[in-house]
Structure 1
Amino acid sequence: MKITMLSVMVDDQDKGLAFYTDVLGFVKKTEIPMGEFRWLTVVSPEQPDGTELVIEPDAHPAAKPWKAALVADGIPVVVFEVADVHKEFERLRDLGVRFTQEPADMGPVTTAVFDDTCGNLIQIHSPN
Structure 2
Amino acid sequence: MADNISIPAESSKIKVIGQSADKRTKDERLKAACAEFESLFICQLLKVMREAIPKTALFHGGSSEDIYTSMFDQEVARKMAEDRGIGLGKQLYEQVSAAVAKTRRSEIPGSIGREGLKDKETNGVNKDGAQKR
Normalised to the residue count of structure 2, the TM-score between the two structures is 0.20
Q: Which has the higher strand share?
A: 1
The structure with more helix, counted as a fraction of residues: 2
Q: Which has the larger radius of gyration?
A: 2
Q: TM-score, normalised by structure 1?
A: 0.21
